[in-house]
Structure 1
Amino acid sequence: MTAYLKRKADDYLDRWLADADRKPLIVKGPRQVGKTATIRRFAERHYDNLVEINFAEEPKYKSITADGYDAASIIRNISLIDPSKRFEPGRTLIFFDELQDHPDIATALKFLKLDGRFDVICSGSMLGVNYNAIESNSVGYKSDYNMHSLDFEEFLWARGYGEDTREDMLSCLCEARPFSRTQMDVFGSLFLDYCTLGGMPEVVSTFTAKNTFEGTLQLQRQLVLDYSEDIRKYADGMDQARILNVFNHIPVQLSKENKKFQISKVASGARFKDYRGCVEWLESSGMTLICRCLQFPQLPLKGNYDENKFKIYFADSGLFVSMLDDEASDDLRANRNLGIYKGALYESIVAEALSKSGYGLYYFKKDNSTLEEDFFVRTRNHLVPVEAKARGGKTKSMRTLIGSGAYPDIRFGIKLSAGNIGSSNHVFTMPHFTAFLLRDLLKAYDEGTAPLLDNPER
């Protein structure tokens, strides 16, 4: 039996349970990120009875709403189908899995909440695609939680590191105190492992159990096949082929110097208006991340972008790595060499870290100019450009944004690279493996406990 991997969702579920007025919870996220295992583990720790219904594996349970959506009808019909399921008020968790196969059950959440005898959690892998119906059927009577594959901190937990590792790393960043040589070597090596594997629990568990990459590429490629099958199952009509085309072209387009996703490269004669819905479908499914091009680098970020210009990243870097050609994948595992994909992988992993930290993704490319910035986040008062460098290198565009009076919201920038912690000319440098801490670092900056730079203007 595969050992359970500790997840950040564990703490969220505990907080949900501690809320006396908790509502039915819907856990959203792409397939195989660990939703079911996490919810089962939570149920084992806190309930005497778990009533688990999987609408994909047991379609007979779709009939439980046939007599209405009130709690009594739902519970009666579940018991008729399987009389062994136990319903003890205050001691039972009802778990509806694969909600996307029976979104109609969302209408019952209101009545189960009003009934109040049982806690309810739902989950599904393609909820974003049909979520409008679910939202309208349960508005005001549910809570939502987005679950992702493991971030680097969770990967460190899987490798045996404790929660104090986070505090140690963050204190170095807040104090602008460089990591020791040993820390750089150890965490740098672990981060390369994470880049290669991604954060899918089964892949990480296999690697941890064997302490080698043996079998991990096959698992990653099976995940890609499973995602492709989901597209065929849940997408409608002609969009299936178009969505698959977009999905399969992501690694190719990320490997180019201009990483902007170009619909014209997907298929002969492809037009943006015919593919807009396909890009949105993949984003809603949780398979991909969309990084939108700002119209101008200034606050606010929301609404300040060109909807026709964007980059597409995979929500998990392991999918990206598995879709490289065999030679590139083998070289990465054996020699830690990415070749032409090096810049793309580090940019992808930073996008993934920012997204998992709760940031929206934005970049900027000035027309008819070389001025381009990978990402933007914000502090309370300032817009902060973020650049992902494979090794080191200069940050010409970032320095232009900081030094020019044309961008008043920008006072300093963050460079993520293979180098140590440092600061120069209003650019704060931090190692790739600390990307998951960026939100905490900027929060500390706002609170005055992380100076970041030698002389930043607050």
Structure 2
Amino acid sequence: MNFSSYFVCIAFEFCSYFVYSVGMENAIRRKILDFLAKWRSSENHLPLIIRGARQIGKTYSVRQFGKNYKSFVEINFVDSPEYKDIFLRGYSTDEVIKRISFHNPKFKFIPKETLIFFDELQEYPDCSTSLKFFAEDGRFDVICSGSMMGLNYRQISSNSVGYKLDYQMYSLDFEEYLWAKGYGESFTEELYSHLKNLEPFSKEELNLLNDYFLEYAVIGGMPAVVKRFLIDGNYSNILPLQSQLVRDYEEDITKYADGLDKTKIKNIYRNIPVFLAQENKKFQITKVAKNARSRYYVGCAEWLRDAGVVNLCFCLNNVCLPLKGNYDEAKYKIYYHDTGLLMANLDEESSEDLRKNKNLGIFKGAIYENLVGQMLKTAGFDLYYYKKENAQLEMDFFVRTTESLVPVEVKAKDGATVSLNNLIKYPSYKDVRFGIKFCNKNIGFNGRFYTIPYFCAFLLKRFLREDFVVATNREKPDGLKKDEV
């Protein structure tokens, strides 16, 4: 199927009708629901712990999934702290159910048709000890969730090792955002067919998809923000929501950051735009506070990562495989887990200019790099970059196929790709055979690297796994002409 101007207009009208006619609660479909359906259908499935930052839709998604059961038992340890006594007499399934029924006799426990949902697990992490007993019993499905800021996950893992399954959830990715606008999986397949076949988009298609992607860049993927934007159809109420989310996260830091200096953690979180605005975007402690020393901030960035609110991108020691174990833990870049929160932390003038005039200004490179990093992480990639000291060679990200290391460059402007070409050109980088350039251009391939529009970044993992058109064992190019660098 080929998109046309007529189809684009019809699709846009359908999206508007979809959002207003079915209501926002039903408009946002999440990928976790597909995962949960497979989880339930798998034989002898273990209790599940859903991890992720707060307010990304964990609770809402579990409640939606709970409608597939004859009985749904939800216990929220914040709203209903009285349930914290359900384990006082032990962790056996029968004893726990007896105590739950004591508090609410209306709950029904039907074998194989009951989902028990323990929410806000951070308020009562001892609950995780019961997962072993539920797993061994096997009569009831169990899902736990909570704010990662408040979870001592090492404690939870040790209490339930071998008796649980983890799922990492994120805010809406770009595909889910398209679903929220009314597009279905067939639309995703159409996008992927362009990438698979290296078929450029038409001008109309490219303009529409770039507009959607700019919307996504500005509002991010936090469900409450997405809903507000789709209802209003403009950005007027977006920044207050994003700013409130930032304040909520900072309150959680104050509440949960035990054993670390909470002020230092918040300083790092607030100053991420400062790091990203730099040319190399590397985290530097001197940008956090005057005369600051790295040893005083040990563990702070890692705490934010473990809480799910930032993504860390580590500097490779060498441009070669493997990736894990081949990086410097002391050198990293920090990205917000959701680009909408980056927008909320920009100065007011930049935010207003961006929303009114679609002008990304001096933060253009930071916004696109944060967003591509977010999309790679959501797709399941760990984040790595490379910066050779006292040299011009640097690369934004690296991913890999089974046999090859793939450099990924994020170009905010239409400029030269010196580092990308050199990584492919020189024999010393033997694991690099081709590259990826995300930019504001159409799909293409020049024999060395793929040019891919930003909005296709969520398809990269599938593309690497299924449809790379270049054999990974081909010889490196003999050389590059001057005008190709």
CA contact (8 A) 1:426 1:456 kept: no
CA offset digits 1:123-180 (Å, max 9, x no partner): 1121685101100111111111000000000000001111011211111111111111
Q: Which residue identity lines up with residue 237 of structure 2 in the other structure?
A: G
In structure 2, what is the equivalent of residue 123 of structure 1?
A: 145
Whether 1:391 and 2:413 are equivalent positions in the alignment is yes
* Shift of residue 226, structure 1, vs aligned partner: 0.6
SS at 1:345 equivalent: helix
In structure 2, what is the equivalent of residue 36 of structure 1?
A: 59
Distance 2:129 2:471 in 1: 52
In structure 2, what is the equivalent of residue 82 of structure 1?
A: 104
* Shift of residue 269, structure 1, vs aligned partner: 3.1
CA contact (8 A) 1:99 1:123 kept: yes
* Shift of residue 86, structure 1, vs aligned partner: 2.0
Q: Which residue identity lines up with residue 451 of structure 1 in the other structure?
A: V
Using the size of structure 2 for normalisation, the TM-score is 0.91
Q: Which residue identity lines up with residue 242 of structure 1 in the other structure?
A: K
In structure 1, what is the equivalent of residue 299 of structure 2?
A: 277
Which one is further off, 198-207 or 80-89? 80-89
Distance 1:192 1:269 in 2: 38
CA contact (8 A) 2:372 2:410 kept: yes
In structure 2, what is the equivalent of residue 151 of structure 1?
A: 173
In structure 2, what is the equivalent of residue 139 of structure 1?
A: 161
In structure 2, what is the equivalent of residue 7 of structure 1?
A: 30
1:232-271 correspondence to structure 2 within 5 Å: 232-236=254-258, 238-271=260-293
CA offset digits 1:20-52 (Å, max 9, x no partner): 2111111110001100110000011x1121110
In structure 1, what is the equivalent of residue 47 of structure 2?
A: 24
User: CA 1:145/1:351 → structure 2, altered by over 3 Å: closer, same or farther?
Assistant: same
Q: Which residue identity lines up with residue 19 of structure 1 in the other structure?
A: S
SS at 1:7 equivalent: coil
Superposed CA RMSD in Å reads 1.6
SS at 1:286 equivalent: coil
- Counterpart pick for 2:450 among 428, 440, 445: 428
SS at 1:214 equivalent: coil
* Shift of residue 456, structure 1, vs aligned partner: 5.3
Q: Which residue identity lines up with residue 51 of structure 2 in the other structure?
A: K
1:84-99 correspondence to structure 2 within 5 Å: 84-99=106-121
Using the size of structure 1 for normalisation, the TM-score is 0.96
Distance 2:434 2:373 in 1: 19
Structure 2 unaligned blocks of 5 or more: 1-22, 477-485
CA contact (8 A) 2:75 2:117 kept: yes
CA contact (8 A) 1:428 1:453 kept: no
Q: Which residue identity lines up with residue 147 of structure 1 in the other structure?
A: M
CA offset digits 1:271-315 (Å, max 9, x no partner): 222212111100000000000000011000001001111000001
Distance 1:141 1:257 in 2: 46
Structure 1 unaligned blocks of 5 or more: none
- Counterpart pick for 2:126 among 68, 91, 104: 104
In structure 1, what is the equivalent of residue 432 of structure 2?
A: 410
Distance 1:454 1:236 in 2: 48
User: CA 1:282/1:310 → structure 2, altered by over 3 Å: closer, same or farther?
Assistant: same
Whether 1:306 and 2:328 are equivalent positions in the alignment is yes
CA contact (8 A) 1:428 1:452 kept: no
Instruction: Give the number of equivalent residue pairs.
Output: 453
CA contact (8 A) 1:152 1:191 kept: yes
The percentage of aligned residue pairs carrying the same residue is 51
- Counterpart pick for 1:451 among 462, 466, 469: 469
* Shift of residue 453, structure 1, vs aligned partner: 9.0
- Counterpart pick for 1:195 among 200, 217, 229: 217
Distance 1:238 1:298 in 2: 35
